[in-house]
Structure 1
Amino acid sequence: MKIAVLSITRHGVALAGRVVAALPGARLHAPRKFAVEAEAAAPGAAHAYDGTTAEEIGRLFAGQDAIVAIFSLGALVRMLAPHLESKTSDPAVVALDDGGRFVIPVLSGHLGGANALAGRLAAALGAQTVLTTASDARETIGVNLLGRELGWTLEAGHDTLVRASAAVVNDEPVALVQEAGSRDWWRNHANGRRGPLPANVTLFDRLEEVDPERFAAVLWISARAMPEAYAARLAGRCVIYRPGADA
C-alpha cells in the first residue's frame, strides 16, 4: 500500500515518525516549516510540502491507498469533503490525535481497509481504536468482508448487501450456509473476532436445509449455482460467497 502520514504540528511530526516506522513503505508529509523535524523523525521517508494542508490532502487523496492524518478530525473532514467520490474508490483515511491515544477510521473503513489499518496502528502505538461501523463495534459479521482475506469473491447487489448487513447488526435471524471453502473464517475475520458467532446467526451445511421464510437474510458460501427453487424465494436477501479452489 502507498500510505501517506500527514502531520501539521511539531509534536505530531514526532508521532508521525513512529507511525511511518510501523507501516513499511509509508512516507511522512509535513509543512515546509517542519522539514528538519520531519527528516529527523523519518529519515529518507519525509516530504516537506509548500502551500496549504488542504491542497496537500487533495494531492494525496488522488494518489495514495491510505492517509493517516495526525490532526483534528473536524478539520480533516472539511478537507476531505471536496474529494469524496465512492467507498469503492476512495482511499482509506485514519485520524490520529496529537497525543497518539486514539486511532479513528474516517473513510473507507471496510472496503478500503481503514479499520484494519487503525487496528495495526493501535497495536503499534499502544493506542485505542475508535470503531464506528456497527459490525466492527459489535464484533459481528461484516457482510461485505466475509472471507475476503481468504480470497473469496462476493455476488450481491448494493441493496442486497445493505439489507443483509442490517439484518446482521440488528439481531434479525440470519442463516449462514457453508458448502465450500475454509471453515477457519471467523477467528481470522477482518479486524479479528474474539467471541462466539452471534446468536442471531444459524449455521447450515446445505442451502436446502434453510426455510427462507424464517430468515431476514441468507449468507451462502458455495461453488454451485443457485437452485432454481430458491432463486425467487431468496431474491434480494441472499449474499453469495465464492471460495477459490484453495480457499
Structure 2
Amino acid sequence: MTTTNPIPDPATAAHVRVVLVAITKHGAAQVAALAQALPQASVCVAAKFAPLMGALQNPVQAYEGAFKDEIARLFAEFDQIVFFVSLGAVVRLIAPHLKSKDEDPGVLVVDDAAAFVIPVLSGHVGGANAWAEKIAALLQATPVLTTASDVGKTIPVDILGRELGWAVECPKINITRVSAHVVNGEPIALVQEAGSRRWWTRATPLPASIHVFERMSDVQRERFKACLWVTRAEVDAACWAQWHEALVLYRPPLGQEAEA
C-alpha cells in the first residue's frame, strides 16, 4: 500500500518557491514586469541583464557563464520554474535532471510574446498547471494545458481533494489505471462518506460518467470501471480484491465538515 500525504494547493501556498528565468534581454524585460505582480518570486537572469531588474523588491540571482550550469541549482532550490525561454531549449536543458513526477519541480514556459503559458513538467502533482493558470491571468495570456483531465474537464485522480487536505491511499498502479478510466469517460463510482463536499472546483458540471454515492454498499461493482472512495473507514482485503486496481482511496483529515 502506498500513501501520499496531503499537499497544499500549489497556486496559493505561501511557502511555494518560485523563480522567473530569462536568458535574453527581451525575456529579462518580461520577467521584470511579471515579478512586480509576484513579489514572492525570485528572479534569475544573466548578469549583463541584471540592471534591467531596476528597483524590484524580488530576490535577483545574476549568473555568469553557461546557463545550462544553472539548471541543477534551480531544480534543487525551487518548486516552480518559469522560463521565458523557447520550449525546445527548455526541454533539452531540463532533460538530464528529470527524476519523477513526485520529485521534479513544476516547469513552465512563457512564449516570446507572453501570449501563452505552457506547463511542461509536473503539471498535476508538482502544481505547474495551477501556476500556469495563475501566471496566464497576470499576463492576460492563454494557459496551454495538455493533461487529459484538464482538457476533458474531469476529475484529476491523483490530486482530487488536495486543497482540502485529503491524502491519497492506494498503490500507484491504481492511480494510473483509474485515471485512464476517468479520462476515457467510462462509468466511475465516487463514494463520499467523509470530508468536505466542496471538492469539485471547475466551472463546468461534473461529467455524466461520474456517479456519486453516499455509501459504498450502494455501489454495484459490475456497473463501474473504477471507484473513487472518500472515507475514514478501514478497507478490508475482500474490498481490495473485488476492485483490485480499480480503487483509489482518499482520506480527509479528522474533523473536516462534510458541508454541502
After superposition, the C-alpha distances for 1:51-76 in whole angstroms (9 at most, x for unaligned) are 11111122211221110000100000
CA contact (8 A) 2:230 2:252 kept: yes
Return the match for 1:157 from 171, 184, 193. 171
Q: Which residue of 2 aligns with 1:74?
A: 88
Q: Flag the structure with more relative contact order, 1 or 2, with Cα contacts below 8 A and sequence separation at least 6.
A: 2
SS at match of 2:73: helix
Residue 190 of structure 1 aligns with which residue? none
| Range moving further from structure 2, 92-101 or 55-64 | 55-64
After the TM superposition, which residues 73-222 of structure 1 pair with which residues of structure 2 at under 5 Å, given as runs? 73-187=87-201, 193-222=202-231
Shift in Å, 1:228: 5.2
Q: What corresponds to 1:240 in structure 2?
A: 249
Match of residue 19, structure 1, among 30, 34, 48: 34
What SS does the corresponding residue of 1:16 show, helix, strand or coil? Answer: helix
**Structure 2 residue 18 is matched with structure 1 residue 8:** no
Unmatched segments (≥5 aa) in structure 1: 188-192
- Corresponding letter in the other structure for 2:41: A
**Residues 98-128 of structure 1, C-alpha deviations (whole Å, 9 max, x = no match):** 2111000011111111001111101111010
Q: 2:47 aligns with which of 18, 28, 32?
A: 32
**Any conservation in 2 of the 1:92–1:108 contact (CA below 8 Å)?**
yes
Contact conserved, 1:3 with 1:66, CA < 8 A, in 2? yes
Q: How many residues align?
A: 241
Matched AA of 2:241? A
Q: Deviations for 1:199-224, whole angstroms, at most 9, x for unmatched residues?
A: 11111110011111211110000110
Q: Kindly tell me: are residues 43 and 203 of structure 1, through their superposed partners in 2, closer, same or farther at Cα, counting changes over 3 Å?
A: closer
TM superposition score normalised by structure 1: 0.93
Partners in 2 of 1:167 and 1:129 — Cα distance? 25
Taking structure 2 as the reference length, the TM-score comes to 0.89
Q: CA deviation at 1:2?
A: 1.5
- Secondary structure of 2:45's counterpart equals strand
Secondary structure (helix, strand or coil) at the match of 1:236 reads helix
1:120 maps to amino acid: K
Deviation of 1:42 (Å): 3.1
Runs of 4 or more, structure 1, over 6 Å off, are: none
Pick one of 237, 240, 243 that aligns with 1:231: 240
SS in 1 for 2:61: strand
- Rate the CA distance shift 1:244–1:43 in 2: closer, same or farther, 3 A: closer
Aligned-residue CA RMSD (Å):
1.4
In the alignment, is residue 47 of structure 1 matched against residue 56 of structure 2? no
Counterpart Cα distance in 1 of 2:62 and 2:111: 20
Q: CA deviation at 1:21?
A: 2.3
Per-residue CA deviations over 1:175-197 (Å, capped at 9, x if unaligned) read 0000111111102xxxxx11110
**Cα separation, partners in 2 of 1:81 and 1:154, compared to 1, 3 Å:** same
Instruction: Give the counterpart letter for 1:52 in structure 2.
Output: A
State the alpha-carbon separation in 2 of the partners of residues 235 and 43 from structure 1: 53
Cα pair 1:93 1:107 within 8 Å, conserved: yes
- Answer yes or no: is the 8 Å Cα contact 1:14–1:41 preserved in 2: no
Identity over aligned pairs, percent: 49
Which amino acid is 1:89 matched to? E
